Amino acid sequence: MSKEIVTGNEALALGALRAGAKVITGYPGTPSSEVIGFLLSHPELWKEKGAHVEWSTNEKVAFEIAAGAAWAGQRALVTMKMSGLNVAFDSVISIAYSGINGGLVIYVADDPGVSAGMAEQDTRGFALMSDLPMLEACSVKEAYLIVPKAFQLSEETKSPVFLRLTTAVSQSHAPVELESPYYLPLEREILLERDIQKYTKAGALICMAQHRDLIQRLEKSKELIREMKLNELSLSKKKGQLGILASGVSYSYLEEGLLLASQFGLDPEEVSILKVVSVNPFPEEEAGTLLENSELILVLEELEPYMEKNLILLAHKLGLRRRIVGKLDGTLERIGDYSVREVLLGISAALGLKIPPELFYGIQAEKLAAPRPITVCAGCPHRGTFMAINNGIRKAGFKKDQVMVTGDIGCTILGMNPPFNTVWNEVSMGASLGIAQGYVHAGMNSPVIATIGDSTFFHAGIPALINAVQYQVPLTLIIMDNGWTAMTGMQFNPGTSEKFLPQGSKRVDLEKLIPGLGVENFWVVDPYDYRKMSEIILKALKSEGVKVILARRECAIQAMRRGERAGKVKVNPEKCTLCKSCLTITGCPALSIGEKTMEIDQTLCNGCGLCLFTCGYKALEREEP
């Protein structure tokens, strides 16, 4: 055994290995990506021992692969961020109805407080909707220990089990006692079971029978969760009036909150606590005991008041009149992540303690800080694409506010910010293409452009392009292909160069795929070649039908990591007039304003040369590498 510092996501990956998972799949998404990321960077832990780990094309595919393996009797884990669960959910419901054979754990990372963008979607609602058990860990250490329990629960109830972490746990690093060996493979025979009653959805009788089985499996999980003692109830040492029900990261703030509240008259020994790990099904027995032993109960859960509603329902069923403090009485918010402040606010509202608000709020000096909108990195090929889109729109005789440019998920959305202000909106993976078609059908008489990254296009853009081709919708799709799933931390995807794909993989080339979908107006261009890029965009804006531009050049960060530069750019001090056009148009982080001339940070600049096109004085000079 060794005590090593690992992240919540790494702990989860190691927990899955320890539980003998044979198939582990996922699609990148902050804050969940490091599970697969960790495993792929440590193949020595699992590869020789027969496990399979992969980045799949999207979360639905990832889930189906894991579910197939679990039907075949193996243990499987699938990982995703909360938005990914929306993509996978069609299959999740169906597999929930059928049940599984081997263990299937669905790890979903939620993001209260939105540190990574997208919705504050509370995945616990999906567990309720699909009648599947869901466990939640409150710390990195617990994330490691909970995975084998989730697999046990899954196999004993023959049901997929959700495992939920929130950002604060998945991204935290903490010491964990790791058992050795890290991987305990299970030697299992493949299970081949032919049973259409279980494995198909053909007909009402089959579906309703499966629905009944599903509900029974959730009932069975209640008993098992009690036997496994997953939830922890500790009744107060002294008779007290306050009970606290807490789950996930909210629980981890409890000790600190009680200690602080004790300075304002609370006796921590008079408080009963129920720590909820099985956020679905709700632990009615333990919660009932908590209700009987307390006069009022504080519920601490981030986002939606699911446990709170369950508790109110339970109190009603038991005929107990109890005051319940949480979100529904207005004490706490449904928005944002919690800290010790919410524990104190809750205790103070529950018991009427006079805790001065100054304790919670520091000096808000951040309003004096300079705004720092994020832009694309120095050398990013997308910089050339955004500059060329703006140029193409102008040359085609339109103003920027006449041309709809829909955006998509990933780095490509950074075109929404200055200096480009190119992209108008961001919805979900692949949505740029559907939204664009909607604008066309709404009656736009100026061009419509959709922008999307390579990984996003593979993930969910292809069906929408097929739709546009079928109906011959006049629009221009620009695929910004940088060869990586970059914003989530540089994962490979189907279009990544074979040099960087796992051994035995085959690259799927967009250059071949797109004409195969029936696209007739198709160009492949290097976005560093600004003139060509602008010319092609102009041509596309003036052409009929579906136009696709594949703007292709590898992510500069990845190229620079391998020491590959596109060239070297220098300022000629004789010619630079400090007009700042280069900075105004490119917004490149490598450029700064010196005393007499512009300056270039050579550690950031990769020599893309896009700034050369903005200089009217030929003061920027580029050398080939």
Residues near another protein (CB under 8 A) are 3, 5, 115-117, 138-141, 168-169, 171-175, 249, 252-253, 255-256, 337, 339-341, 359-366, 368-375, 377, 411, 418-419, 486-487, 557, 580, 583-584, 587, 589, 592-593
d(CA 398, CA 292): 70
Token pair of 84, please? 């990914």
Min separation Cβ 361 and another protein, Å: 6
- Cβ nearer to another protein, comparing 354 with 506: 354
Nearer to another protein, 159 or 432 (CB): 432
Nearer to another protein, 116 or 571 (CB): 116
Residues 91 and 64 sit within 8 Å (Cβ to Cβ):
yes
Residue nearer to another protein on the CB measure, 470 or 584: 584
Our measurement of the distance from residue 200's CA atom to the centroid of its chain's CA atoms, rounded to an integer in Å, reads: 31
Query: Nearest distance from residue 94's CB to another protein, in Å?
Result: 34
Which residues are bridge partners to 213 per DSSP? none
Give residue for tokens 């499987």: 76
Minimum CB distance to another protein smaller for 418 or for 616: 418
Q: Which two tokens stand for residue 63?
A: 């889930």
Query: DSSP string of 44-56?
Result: GGTTTTT-EEEE-
- The residue to which tokens 């919540």 are assigned: 8
**Least Å from the CB of residue 3 to another protein:** 7
Strands 52-55 and 76-81: unpaired
Nearer to another protein, 360 or 523 (CB): 360
Strand pairing class (323-325; 296-300):
parallel
Q: Measured between alpha carbons, how far is 601 from 570 in angstroms, rounded to an integer?
A: 10
Count CB atoms within 10 A of the CB of residue 21: 33
SS3 state at 470: helix
**246 vs 473, which CB is nearer to another protein?**
246
Q: Cβ-count burial of 578 within 10 angstroms (0-12 exposed, 13-18 middle, 19+ buried)?
A: middle
CB closer to another protein, 128 vs 258: 258
Determine the Cα–Cα distance for residues 455 and 459; give it in Å rounded to an integer.
Answer: 6
**Residue number with CB closer to another protein (180 or 364):** 364
Which residues neighbour 402 within 8 Å (Cβ) at sequence distance 6 or greater?
393, 446
Q: Which is nearer to another protein, 249 or 450 (CB)?
A: 249
Minimal distance, residue 428 CB to another protein, in Å: 16
* Length of the chain as a residue count: 625
Backbone angles phi and psi of 475, in degrees to 5: -155, 165
Specify whether the CB–CB gap between 517 and 443 falls below 8 A. no
Q: Please, what is the minimum distance in Å from the beta carbon of residue 11 to another protein? A: 12
How would DSSP label each residue in 109-161?
EE-TT-SSSS----THHHHHHHT--EEE-SSHHHHHHHHHHHHHHHHHHTS-E
Largest alpha-carbon pair distance within the chain? Answer: 87
Backbone angles phi, psi at 463, to 5 degrees: -60, -35
Comparison of 505 and 592: residue with beta carbon closer to another protein: 592
